[in-house]
Structure 1
Amino acid sequence: MRAIQRTLLASTAMLAAVAASSAAHAQAASSDPSVQLEEIIVTSTKRAERLQDVPVSVTALTQDVIERNNVRELGDVVKLSPAISIDYGSQPGNFSIKMRGIGTFSNGIAVESDVAVVIDDVPIGFQAAAFKDLIDVERVEVLRGPQSTLFGKSAIAGVLNIVTAAPSNTFGGKAMALTTDDGEKRAGFTVTGPVNDTVRMRLTVAKSDYDGNLKNLTTGKNVNGSSGLTATAKIEWTPTQSLKLSLAPRFNHNVSSCCASAITELTPGLNYQGEPAFPATLTLRGITFDKNNHFVRADDRIGGGNSEVFGGTARLDYDFGEGSILKGHTVSSITSRDRWKMRDFQDIDGTDQPFLLGFPVASPSGVNSGAVINGYFHARSTTQEFRLTSPGAGRLRYVAGLWYAKNDLDRYLNRGPVLQLARYLAQSTNENYSAYANATLDLTDKLSLTGGARINRQKIRYTFDKTIFASTAPGAATTHQLFGRSDQDDAVTGKIGVQYRWTPDIMTFATYSTGYKGQAYDLVSTFDARIAAQMPVPPETAKNYELGIKSSLLDRRIYFNATLFRADYHGFQTSVTSFLPDGTFLTFLNSVGHLRTQGLELDAVARITSNFRLNGAFAYTDATVVDFPNGPCYSGQPTTVSADPAFVGAPGVCYNTPRTNGRVQNLHGKRLNNTPRYKFSLGGQYDIDLPDDVPFKAFVGATVRWQDDINFALSQDPRTVQKAYGVTDLTVGIADRDGKYKLTAFANNLFDKRYAQGLGNGTSGYSNPAIPTAQGKTWFPGRDAFRYFGARLDVNF
C-alpha cells in the first residue's frame, strides 16, 4: 500500500509541475479549440456536473469511444474499464458483474448483485436482465467502490450508470450496419426530432445476430452466440418552460445459445457416466483435445435462453421559478415498470447420445434420451423516486430524495429425467423504502466538504416448493416440500469527504463511505430443511477509503485522474461451486467473513493534436480473502482428516473434521477469483488529412488491452488459471467531410491470442473404475478469443 501511495504522490508532484508550465504557456498563447478536449458531463452524483469536478472514482466512456470500439453489450465495457470483470455461469440467468474484484455469483434469485446497472436513472431489478444489446448510448459511467448512499443497496461494489441519447430539437437520425467474417451481423437506426413546438421524440430499433465461436459437430451449427431485437423510444413534452414530461417505453427480445464449454484435456479410456457402451471415443468422436479446441457434441438444444423485456419509464421534472421559496430547484418524479422473462434450456450431459438407456449401470433406466434442464425466470420490477435537486450555483449544492422499489422474482427448474433429477419453484419478493441526501458545501473558493446518508428498510420473503422423488426411476412416487419465510432489515449508509482545488484545473479529494446489501436466501436445488433453518444469509457491509486527484492539463488537452482505494467487505455473499463425479454442477451460498480490495486506478484522455486522440485506463487491484476458514477445496486437492472438532487447518490446506462435515480449506490471504492484479487498456484514433479535392478523410485507430494472471476458482485450483494475455484491435476507415457517412474496417484480436472467460477442472461426467486418477479440463472462450475481421457503415442524416 505504501508503494502505491508513493506512486500517487509522485504523480501528483509531476502533474503539479506540468500544470504550472502549461499555465504559463496558456497565458502566452490563446486557446486553440481544435486541440482541446470537450467537457464531459456526468450524472454520477444524480446531478449534471463536470467529470473533473466530481469527487468520485468514475470513468466516463463517451459516445465516440463506445462507437469506435463497437460496444454492443455489457461484456464489451469490460474491455475499456480495467476495474470490471464478469463471471459467466452455466446459463445467461447466472452472469455476474464484478467491480474491483467484488461481485456476487449465485444461481439463486434471492441474492442481489453487488454492482448496480442503472439505465436513465432506473436500476435493473434483476442483473441478468441487463445482459442485452446496448443501443443509442450517449455515455457509460463506471462508478467504482460502494455507491449505496445515492444508488441503494445493490450498489455496494459499484455502479454502471448508462445514459441514452435524448430527443433532438431538430429532425435527424442515423443508421448503422455491421458484418464480420465469423457470422456476426448488426443493424440499427434512430430517428429523432420535434413533433411540434412542445413535443420531441426519439425512436431506435436495432437487430443483432451472432452464431458463436464453438461448433456443435452433431448439428453443424455454431453455439455460444445470440440474436436480439431491441426497440426504445423517448417522448418529451414541455408544455411550459418550467415543466417537462417524458415517457420512455422499451422492448428487447434475445435468444442465446449459451454457455457451452469445450473439452481441452481428457484422460484416454473414459466412458460417459462410467457406461462401457458410451466411451468418449463415441460421444466425443471427431474432437481433438487441445488448448484451442472449439468443437463440441450435443443435442440440438445445447443450451441458452430465450428472454423478453417489456417496460417503460415516466418522468416529470419541474423547475421552480421566481417568487418561489425553492427558486432554482428542480423536483423530479421517476416511475418505472419492467417485466423480464426468460425460458432457459441446457443439454447437461454434453453428448448427442441417449446414454440414459444404460444409466445407471446397475439398473438401467431404459429412457431413450439424454439429460436436460428446462425452466424459466420471471422478474417484475417497480420503482418510484421523488428527487429534489438544488441549483448548480451557490456554496451549498445538494440532492435529496425518497425511493421505493419492489422486485417479484420466480425461478422454475426441471432437471432430469434421471441424471441429476431435481424440480422446484422458487419465488422471492423484496421491497425497499429509503430516503437519501447528498450535499457539497464550499467552505472557501478552494476547499469543499461533501457528505451524504441513506436510510434503508428492506422487506424480503420467499416460498420454495420442491419435488422429492422416491427414486430416479421414471414414474417414481413424489412428495412435495414447501418452505417459506419473511424477514425485515434496516440499515444506514453514508459518505463523507473533502476536496481541494489547487488550481482551476487540479482537484484532489479524500472520501470515506459505507455500503450495504440486504439479507438473502439460497434458493437453489440443494435447498432443504437444514438450509432453510439457517436462512436468511446475513447482510453484506463495506467500508471504503479513497484518495484521488483529477486534473485538466496543457490548456485542456489532457485529462488525467488517479484514485487510491481500500475497501473491507464483511459478510460477503457469494456462491462457491463444485462438481460431483457425475458432472453435476452445484453451488452453495456462503457468507464470507472478510474480504479486502485495495489498489490504484488511473484514467487519461489526451488530444495530442487536432487529428490525434488517445484514451487509456489502468488498474492495480489487490483483492484478497482476510477471513474465510470454511472455503471450498478444489478437485483432487490433498485432504487432511482430523477427528478433532476444533481443528482448523493452515491457509491452503484442505481438511475434513466432524465440525465441517465436508472438505473445506482456510482461504486467508488468497486472491479473489477472476480478478487480475494488473490490467490496462489503451486506445486511440488518428485522422488523416487528404487533399482538399478528395471528398472524404481517412482515419486509423487501435486499442490494446492486457491483464495479469487470474484464477477462475475461489478454491485456488491450479488447473483453472488463465495466464496473462493481451489483445490488440485495429480499425481503418474513411468518412465524408460533412460527417454524414463513415465506413470502417476492423480486425479484432489482430494477433489471434487465445484466452478463456472461464476454465473448468473436471472430467465432465466421464469416468472409468480402472483409471481412478483421470483428469479433464474445459474452457469457455471469449467473444474475440479467435481473430475476426469486419466492416461497419454509419450514416447520419
Structure 2
Amino acid sequence: MTSIRLLLLASTATALLAAPAAALAQQTNTDSAQLEEIIVTSTKRAERLQDVPVSVTAVTADVLDRNNVRELGDLVKLSPGLVINYGSQPGNFSINMRGIGTFSNGIAVESDVAVVIDDVPVGFQAAAFKDLIDVERVEVLRGPQSTLFGKSAIAGVLNIVTAAPTKEFSGKAMALATDDAERRLAFTVSGPIRDNLLFRLTAAKSDYDGNVKNLTTGKNVNGSSGFTATAKLVWTPTENLTLSLAPRYNHNVSSCCASVISELTPGLFYQGEPGFPASTTLRGITIDKNNHFLRADDRIGGGNSDVFGTTARLDYAFGDGSALKGHTLSSITSHDRWKMTDFQDIDGTDVPFLLGFPVANPSGVNSGAVINGYFHADSWTQEFRLTSPGDTRLRYVAGLWYAKNDLDRFLNRGPVLQLARYLAESTNENYSAYANATWDLTDRLSLTGGGRINRQKISYKFDKTIFASTAIGAATTHQLFGKADQDDAFTGKIGAQYKVTPDIMTFATFSTGYKGQAYDLVSTFDARIAAQMPVPPETAKNYELGFKSSLFDRRAYFNATLFRADYKGFQTSVTSFLPDGTFLTFLNSVGQLRTQGLELDGVARLSSNFRINGAFAYTDATVVDFANGPCNNAQPATADLPLQPAGYVGKPGECYRTPTTNGRVQNLHGKRLNNTPKFKFNIGGQYDIDLPGMPFKGFVGATYRWQDDVNFSLSQDPRTIQKAYGIVDLKLGVNALSDRYKISVFANNLFDKRYAQGLGNGTSGYSNPAIPTALGKTWFPGRDAFRYVGARLDVNF
C-alpha cells in the first residue's frame, strides 16, 4: 500500500472513531463527565494506559460485561487485530495477532501469542481456552513482546488480570440464559478475614449445547460445558510485606469441532463404497451454504479437560532506611497441571462403513473410524522481579525467569482407516534475565530500552507403532526417536516517546522477538522428519510509530499505531485433507513473512449518559519467502503436474512436483497469510436513560463489527474464502440506581448473518470413480453465526 493510500485510510478511520469527539467540544462547559483512568501492567509496572509506549487495547470489566464477553474467543469482538484459529479438536486452537500465530497439532511447538494470567503464562496455549471469570481487565498487547514476556510472545500477549480481594465484605452473582441453550451462573464473595488478611472466592458454571445438530442422536454439538473455581488469599503481615496465594481449578467438556458439509456433488459414495451412498449417510440433510446438520456417531468429537493450578506471590517494599528505598522485590511461583482426553469420529458418519472398506479387500470391522487419546501438560514457573519507584526520572524493572514444561500426547487412530498410534513426550526449560527502563531526558522527551537473554533446553521422545497392514491382528513394530537441543538468544527493545502536551504523546520503537526451536511430533513423524529436527527458531524485527491522546478534559481517548514487522523462520503447520477425509497437519518453517498496517482505538463519553467506543485494524500480512509452500485442492492433481529439477523455484502461484518427495509445492511469495482479514473494525456504545421517580435507570446498547474477505488456507485455495460480513448485537435493560442489580436482554447477530470460522475444500471422503471431478465443501460455523437472544441478571451485595 502506498503512503498516500495509507494516509487516506488513516484519515477515514480517524473520522469514524473520533467523530464523537466533535460533539464533546460543544458540551464540555455543560457536562463534566470524564472517562475513567485505565491503569495497565503491560510493562510489568502499573502505569496509565495513555502513558505506555506500546500498542495495547485495555478492555475493562465493565466493557466485558456490556459486550457479554464470556470466554477467551469472544475477545475478537473487541480487538480487531486479534483472530482465533479453530482446529479439528480443542487441543490445537491458536491465537493470531497482526496475522501471526502458530497453528500446530504437535506439543513441541510453542505459541506465537502468550496468554498471561496474573503474571503467569499459560504453559500450553490450548489450556487458555476457557471461561473468563471474575476478570478485572484484559490487555491486548500487539507485536513482539519477547523482552518482558519471553519467547512465546513473539507476536503479542493477552495479559489477563483477575479481580483482587476487597477490604470490605462484598459479593456479586450473575445468571445468563439464551434461547439456543446457553446457560451460565457465577458467584463471587470477597472481604476481610481480619484486618491484614483478605480473601476472594469465585465459582462459575457454564453450559452450551452448540449450533450444529447431529440428526442421528438428536443432540447438538460444537458446544461446551465448564466449571471454574478460583480463590485469592492476601496477607499483609507488615507494612512492607504482602503474601498471596491463588489456587484455581477448571473443568471443561467440549463437543468440538465438527464442520458440516455445505456443498457436495450428487451421486457420491462414502469412501467409494457403493453400499454407502451419500443419500444414505447424509439422509435428511439438505446440503447448502446454511446447512448446520450432520449424521455421526454419539461421540463425534471434543475434549474433556481439567486444570489444577496455584500461584504464590511475595512482594516486599523497601523502606526509607534501605539503599533500595521505594523499590519493590517480587517473587512469583506457579504450578499448573492440565490434562485433556480427546476423541473424534473421523469418518463423520453414523454407518459401520469399515465392513466394506477397503472396497477391494473389506476389513469386515463392524464400526467406523475414530481418534482417541490424551494431552498432559505440567508447568512450573519462577520469577524474581525488582521494580523501581514510579516517580523518578529513571524507572526500570529487572528480573530473573525460569520455566519448565513437561508435555505428552498419546494418539490412537483406527481401527483401519489411516491407522496410527504414537506417544510423544517433550520437555522444555527456559532460563532468562531481563531488564527494561525509561529515562526522562526532559519533562517531555523520554528514552526507553530493554533486553532479555534467554536459554532454551528442549528434548523429546517419540514412540510410534508401525502396522504391517490394516488387517486386524496384523504384526506391529515400534520406532523410538529422541533428541535434545539447546539454543541461546537475545531480544531487545529501544524507543523514544515525546509528550506534545501533557495529554498527547507520540512514540517510536524498534523491538526484536524470538521463539525457540520446535519438533513436529505428529502422526506423520518418521525417520526422515526426525533427521531434519529441530525446526529452527523463529525471529522477528518490529518497527512501530504511535500516537496516544486524552482529549477534551479526559472525555475522549484516541490512540493510533503504524507498524511493520518481518518474521523469519515462521513455524506453522500446513493443513491437508487426505482423499479419505482424514485431516492432517505438517510443520513448516516459512522463510520470511511481513506484516504491516495501522491500528486505531478510540473511546468517548458524549455525556454522562452516553459512551461510545471503537477500534480499527488494517493488516497487510504477506509471505515474502516460502518457495516450497503447499498447493491447494483447486490446483492440478499430482499426476498432472510437471516434475521439476532440484532447486527449481516456480513463479508465484505455480504448482509443481519436486524430485525429493514427488510432492506438490508452490511458490507463495507475495501471497496473503491465512485467516487474516485486511480490514476489520468494531464500533459500539451505550446510552443510559434517566427515569425520574424510579429506583432504576434504563440503558440501550449496540455494537457493529465488520471484517473483510479472509482465506482460511495458506495454500490460497479459492474455495476457502469467507466473504466480508458485518454483525450487529443489541442490548437493553435496567440498572438499579444503587447498583445492586442489573437486568438486561440481548440479541446477538440481530440480522442473522451467516459466517464461517473455518472452511474446507474437499469431498469429506465421498467419491465415485464415474465422477472424477467431484467437488465438496465444509464450513465451521462460529458461535454467533446464527441469531440468538438471551437475558442476564447481575446482582451486587
Distance in 2 (CA, whole Å) between partners of 1:14 and 1:650 is 41
Indicate how the Cα distance of structure 1 residues 614 and 245 shifts in structure 2: closer, same or farther if over 3 A, else same: same
Indicate how the Cα distance of structure 1 residues 24 and 116 shifts in structure 2: closer, same or farther if over 3 A, else same: closer
Alignment match, 1:449: 447
Distance in 1 (CA, whole Å) between partners of 2:125 and 2:160 is 14
Indicate the SS of the match to 1:195.
strand
Unmatched segments (≥5 aa) in structure 1 = none
RMSD: 1.9
Distance in 2 (CA, whole Å) between partners of 1:631 and 1:126 is 27
Alignment match, 2:361: 363
Indicate the SS of the match to 1:153.
coil
Q: Deviations over 1:401-460 (max 9, x none)?
A: 000000000000000000010000000000000000000000000000000000000000
Distance in 1 (CA, whole Å) between partners of 2:14 and 2:568 is 36
Cα offset, 1:119, TM superposition:
0.3
Question: Retained in 2: the 8 A contact 1:180–1:791?
Answer: yes
Amino acid at match of 1:165: A
Residue 373, structure 1, aligned to residue 371, structure 2: yes
Question: Retained in 2: the 8 A contact 1:22–1:553?
Answer: no
Alignment match, 2:633: 635
Residue 752, structure 1, aligned to residue 752, structure 2: yes
Alignment match, 2:486: 488
The alignment's TM-score, normalised by the length of structure 2, stands at 0.97
Cα offset, 1:8, TM superposition:
8.8
Cα offset, 1:85, TM superposition:
0.5
Distance in 2 (CA, whole Å) between partners of 1:235 and 1:427 is 35
Alignment match, 1:562: 560
Amino acid at match of 1:779: W
Indicate how the Cα distance of structure 1 residues 14 and 713 shifts in structure 2: closer, same or farther if over 3 A, else same: closer
- The 5 A counterparts of 1:648-687 are 648-659=649-660, 661-687=662-688
Cα offset, 1:647, TM superposition:
2.7
Alignment match, 2:198: 200
Distance in 2 (CA, whole Å) between partners of 1:492 and 1:738 is 53
Indicate how the Cα distance of structure 1 residues 643 and 140 shifts in structure 2: closer, same or farther if over 3 A, else same: closer
Question: Retained in 2: the 8 A contact 1:265–1:775?
Answer: yes
Alignment match, 1:103: 101
Indicate the SS of the match to 2:348.
coil
Question: Retained in 1: the 8 A contact 2:603–2:614?
Answer: yes
Residue 522 of structure 2: which of 513, 518, 524 is its match? 524
Cα offset, 1:5, TM superposition:
5.8
Distance in 2 (CA, whole Å) between partners of 1:647 and 1:393 is 60
Alignment match, 2:648: 647
Amino acid at match of 2:522: V
Indicate how the Cα distance of structure 1 residues 4 and 332 shifts in structure 2: closer, same or farther if over 3 A, else same: farther
Indicate the SS of the match to 1:592.
strand
Distance in 1 (CA, whole Å) between partners of 2:418 and 2:14 is 61
Alignment match, 2:735: 735
Distance in 1 (CA, whole Å) between partners of 2:9 and 2:365 is 65
Cα offset, 1:645, TM superposition:
2.8
Alignment match, 2:381: 383
Q: Percent identity?
A: 81
Alignment match, 2:223: 225
Indicate how the Cα distance of structure 1 residues 602 and 485 shifts in structure 2: closer, same or farther if over 3 A, else same: same
Residue 92, structure 1, aligned to residue 109, structure 2: no
Question: Retained in 1: the 8 A contact 2:599–2:617?
Answer: yes
Indicate the SS of the match to 1:128.
helix
Distance in 2 (CA, whole Å) between partners of 1:31 and 1:56 is 34
Indicate how the Cα distance of structure 1 residues 777 and 253 shifts in structure 2: closer, same or farther if over 3 A, else same: same
Q: Deviations over 1:71-111 (max 9, x none)?
A: 11111001110001011100000001000000010000000
Indicate how the Cα distance of structure 1 residues 18 and 276 shifts in structure 2: closer, same or farther if over 3 A, else same: closer
Q: Deviations over 1:160-208 (max 9, x none)?
A: 0000000000000000000000000000000000000110000000000
Distance in 1 (CA, whole Å) between partners of 2:657 and 2:300 is 37
Cα offset, 1:19, TM superposition:
14
- The 5 A counterparts of 1:106-505 are 106-505=104-503
Indicate the SS of the match to 1:366.
coil
Unmatched segments (≥5 aa) in structure 2 = none
Distance in 2 (CA, whole Å) between partners of 1:567 and 1:573 is 16
Question: Retained in 2: the 8 A contact 1:5–1:564?
Answer: no
Distance in 1 (CA, whole Å) between partners of 2:644 and 2:790 is 62
Q: Deviations over 1:594-639 (max 9, x none)?
A: 0000000000010010000011100000000000000000113035
Cα offset, 1:658, TM superposition:
1.3
Indicate how the Cα distance of structure 1 residues 328 and 460 shifts in structure 2: closer, same or farther if over 3 A, else same: same
Alignment match, 1:573: 571
Distance in 1 (CA, whole Å) between partners of 2:333 and 2:12 is 44
Distance in 2 (CA, whole Å) between partners of 1:736 and 1:497 is 47
Indicate how the Cα distance of structure 1 residues 609 and 128 shifts in structure 2: closer, same or farther if over 3 A, else same: same
Amino acid at match of 2:736: D
Indicate the SS of the match to 2:44.
coil
Question: Retained in 2: the 8 A contact 1:19–1:553?
Answer: no
Cα offset, 1:659, TM superposition:
4.1
Cα offset, 1:2, TM superposition:
1.4
Cα offset, 1:694, TM superposition:
1.2
Distance in 2 (CA, whole Å) between partners of 1:22 and 1:178 is 35
The alignment's TM-score, normalised by the length of structure 1, stands at 0.97
Question: Retained in 2: the 8 A contact 1:23–1:555?
Answer: no
Indicate the SS of the match to 1:52.
helix
Q: Deviations over 1:256-290 (max 9, x none)?
A: 00000110111111111111111111111100100
- How many residues are matched? 792
Amino acid at match of 1:147: Q
Distance in 2 (CA, whole Å) between partners of 1:278 and 1:10 is 58
Cα offset, 1:646, TM superposition:
3.5
Distance in 1 (CA, whole Å) between partners of 2:211 and 2:546 is 41
Distance in 1 (CA, whole Å) between partners of 2:67 and 2:504 is 29
Distance in 2 (CA, whole Å) between partners of 1:30 and 1:5 is 36
Cα offset, 1:3, TM superposition:
3.0
Cα offset, 1:652, TM superposition:
0.6
Cα offset, 1:9, TM superposition:
8.5
Question: Retained in 1: the 8 A contact 2:276–2:353?
Answer: yes
Alignment match, 2:547: 549
Alignment match, 1:770: 770
Indicate how the Cα distance of structure 1 residues 198 and 13 shifts in structure 2: closer, same or farther if over 3 A, else same: closer
- The 5 A counterparts of 1:44-83 are 44-83=42-81
Alignment match, 1:704: 704
Distance in 2 (CA, whole Å) between partners of 1:643 and 1:679 is 40
- The 5 A counterparts of 1:715-734 are 715-734=715-734
Distance in 2 (CA, whole Å) between partners of 1:673 and 1:19 is 34
Distance in 1 (CA, whole Å) between partners of 2:98 and 2:236 is 42
Distance in 2 (CA, whole Å) between partners of 1:20 and 1:723 is 32
Distance in 2 (CA, whole Å) between partners of 1:156 and 1:509 is 20
Distance in 1 (CA, whole Å) between partners of 2:668 and 2:390 is 48
Distance in 2 (CA, whole Å) between partners of 1:613 and 1:399 is 35
Stretches of 4+ aligned residues off by more than 6 angstroms: 8-15, 17-26
- The 5 A counterparts of 1:505-524 are 505-524=503-522
Distance in 2 (CA, whole Å) between partners of 1:8 and 1:314 is 47
Amino acid at match of 1:679: K
Indicate the SS of the match to 1:641.
coil
- The 5 A counterparts of 1:690-701 are 690-691=691-692, 693-701=693-701
Distance in 1 (CA, whole Å) between partners of 2:410 and 2:12 is 54
Indicate how the Cα distance of structure 1 residues 781 and 194 shifts in structure 2: closer, same or farther if over 3 A, else same: same
Alignment match, 2:781: 781
Alignment match, 2:583: 585
Distance in 1 (CA, whole Å) between partners of 2:7 and 2:477 is 64
Indicate the SS of the match to 1:67.
helix
Cα offset, 1:241, TM superposition:
1.0
